[in-house]
Amino acid sequence: MSFYGDNARIAALATPAGTSALAVIRCSGNGSIEAVRTIFSASKRLITVPSHSLVHGWIEYHGEKIDEVLLSVFHAHRSYTGEESIEISCHGGRATVQAILNVLHTVGFREALPGEFTFRAFINGKIDLIKAESVMELVSAQTDQARRRAVHRLSGSLEQPLKQLSNRIIQILAAVEIQLDYPEDELDSTVQAVDSTELNDIIRELEQLAESYPYEKLYHEGAFVVIAGSPNAGKSSLFNRLINEERSLVSAIPGTTRDWIESGYSVEGIPVRLADTAGLHSTQNEVERLGIERSYELLEKADCIIYLIDGLQGFSETDRQFLKTEKYSNVIPLWNKVDVAPAQQFKGISAKTGVGIPELGKTLASLLTNGTVYAEERVGIATERQKLCIDQSLKSLYLVRDTPDTALELVAPLLREALHAIGELTGTVSTEHLLEVMFSRFCVGK
Domain segments of the chain: what residues? 9-127, 159-218+383-427, 222-368
Superfamily of domain 222-368: P-loop containing nucleotide triphosphate hydrolases (3.40.50.300)
Mention every residue, 6+ apart, whose C-beta is less than 8 A from residue 131. Answer: 153, 154, 156, 159
Question: pLDDT digit string (tens) for 227-255?
Answer: 998 888 888 889 999 988 775 555 554 55
**What average pLDDT does range 102-130 have in this prediction?**
92
Tell me which of 64-73, 153-162, 196-205, 247-256 is least confident: 247-256
From CA 289, how far away is CA 300, in angstroms rounded?
17
pLDDT score of 366 more than 70: yes
CA separation, residue 297 to residues 308, 324, 349, 371 (Å): 18, 18, 26, 27
212 pLDDT band, cuts 50/70/90, is: very high
Query: Could you tell me how many residues make up the chain?
Result: 446
The CATH architecture one would assign to domain 159-218+383-427 is Up-down Bundle (1.20)
From CA 80, how far away is CA 339, in angstroms rounded?
57
Reported CATH class of domain 9-127: alpha beta
324 vs 56, more confident:
56
pLDDT score of 70 more than 90: yes
pTM: 0.75
Mention every residue, 6+ apart, whose C-beta is less than 8 A from residue 343. Answer: 311, 335
CA separation, residue 315 to residues 25, 181, 281, 303, 321 (Å): 59, 75, 14, 24, 11
Q: Are β-strands 85-92 and 109-111 bridged in parallel, bridged antiparallel, or unpaired?
A: unpaired
3-class SS of residue 350 = coil
Question: pLDDT digit string (tens) for 298-328?
Answer: 888 999 999 999 988 888 888 898 888 878 8
From CA 73, how far away is CA 176, in angstroms rounded?
52
- Computed over every residue of the chain, the mean pLDDT equals 86
pLDDT of residue 289: 72
Torsion over CA: 201, 207, 211, 212 (sign):
positive
CA proximity to 387, closest of 220, 213, 264: 213
409-412, long-range: CB < 8 A, 24+ apart = 409/180, 411/176, 411/193, 411/194, 412/173, 412/176, 412/177, 412/180
pLDDT of residue 57: 96
CA proximity to 12, closest of 85, 106, 110: 110
Mention every residue, 6+ apart, whose C-beta is less than 8 A from residue 8. Answer: 2, 29, 108, 109, 110
Mention every residue, 6+ apart, whose C-beta is less than 8 A from residue 414. Answer: 396, 397, 399, 400, 403
The helix (run of H) or strand (run of E) holding residue 414 is: helix 408-426
From CA 416, how far away is CA 133, in angstroms rounded?
25
